[in-house]
Chain A
């Protein structure tokens, strides 16, 4: 009677997770564990599914706990295939938690057992997971630095090259197996690895394959991802027109999928691309669209970026009043979110603009500089006060490293 009850609860948990309700599924699985069972294979399956449910719910500490239970259990009962699966899941979880070295050990175990059992499907999946761990490892170090893709320290390069090799190995097997969906995933991540390595042509080739497969499956999300990644690669190939076409396709699909966050990202990318094309009117148009969505989603960091970009674009057009407005807003937001480098950039932009405005006009309604206002009220000589202030800023500019002018 107890046995049936544990099983019933677990079956309901499975049904709920399959239906996409992981939260409710978790409750049933945990109830099943509470009731308990003497059938250790059933218990192993429950632990595994609990781990995966928590993984999809982004509760990785819990996911780790249950995949660990599953691994211990699988080893205890000598279930080799079960051990391989638990190792793979544990590896994926450790990767997300940033524990790359242990993740590699687990994924390697998944690979070794799969080869031992001559399980080609398992082998391919383990290779894909290993590729993902090395990609994340490389990216985590690469993103901590300030270099552009292609300019990488040796350890980053090694990790990314390993990732590329694992994806290639995976592709050989899944191509033999005729598994198109798996090929699609491998091409996508291989493309991103080439992108980080600075092999932009190879990245394009891989993402084109990914696009083709996404279309075969009518997988709109994957299609959108491919367009976005193609856009990124074409930017670094210096082919901005082509990049803009791909970003426009991304935007179309983001709207079709009703994903506002992705729509905002596409607008931001388009704004930047038109900036590179020096079509500042279009850049402003897209950055404004991005700004509206960022505000709607209460994404302060996105809003700050939009204001910074808009400030630059208006400056390029010589519309210094609008530039000033957005630079001030950028400063406010940088302070609000505690972004120190953003704050410094905004201050520099503001002082630059103030210098130009101070020299061009005899009025200044900016709220930026208290010094400036104080100077005015004291001697009333706007242009001269402005000029003096500007010269100080000139000195500041000379002392400022180039990097501060760039996006960070």
Chain B
């Protein structure tokens, strides 16, 4: 068990982790955008993104992850809360109650006519908060010696 000073070789784990990371990220984005019409949403999408980041933490180390993806997860939590609060507040300025959502049809350049709903912005806030809180917990526990 005392192999801490040896140069360990994790070629299979690291190669597999880099490929599986992108599969999990794409799956989590699919879960996030599918949330309106089918199972999914901001919570499980954020948890899956955090799981992809945890897979990178397992295959590499926290220093490498901080170099590759330099996010401050506490600021990410704050940003998610701010997005959720702003999308809840915007209806007040139109004379509607708090948390009233709105939607409209837009003609997007590549995607054609799509219905955009402000609930997706609220869900983006949930997504960012879930990633931020999960990664803060895991990194805080992992870093302590």
Say whether A associates with B. no
Q: Which residues of A contact B (CB under 8 A)?
A: none
